[in-house]
Amino acid sequence: MLGMSDIQTDAPLLPVLVCPDPQLRKVARAVTEADKALVAKLIPSMFATMYKAPGIGLAAPQVGRHLRVITIDIAPNDVPTPLALINPEITAESAEMVVQQEGCLSVPEQYADVTRPARVKVKYLDENWVKRELEADGLLAACVQHEIDHLNGVLFVDYLTPLKRNILLRKLAKAQKELKGNR
């Protein structure tokens, strides 16, 4: 697992795509050995971008890279705990479901309650290409599922009723229009 000293917070920042950008709906491809150098550069930039936003998770498709890479740091007890997952795959999930409010860097300033499995088990490669397994619950479980959804072209708004989704997306479009008008 990464430590804060391993994170290059001065790495180049990446632009975060905002809904309804069609790139957010593309399914990311699996990372291969041929991608090692690219991923080694991508992960520090993803962390720097995520921390600057600020956010607790970021998927490569959100920054226009269609690779199965996610970065997460839920900072339990306000202690940074950076986690990079390459080719993450949920291998088990609890039958118990929980509702948590979610937001997204690609759907800025919009939040909604989302129902997901309370616990998940995930297999992945870490930043050193070592096979790992993670058992997560609470906020970490929700974050991992949210970011893996991004790898599959799914946004948290897809879990909402059509009415709630449309209201939220209209609010986002209005906010984006106002933001552009103030530039």
Of 112, 105, 116, 111, residue with least CA distance to 70 = 105
96 belongs to the catalytic site:
no
| Contact (CB, 8 A) for 62 and 146 | no
Catalytic residue among 89, 102, 127, 147: 147
Q: How many residues does the chain have?
A: 183
Collapsing DSSP to helix, strand or coil, 11 comes out as coil
Interatomic CA distance for residues 80 and 76, integer angstroms: 7
Cβ neighbours around 81 below 10 Å, total: 15
Residue 9 half-sphere exposure toward CB, CA atoms < 13 A:
9
Active site residues: 147
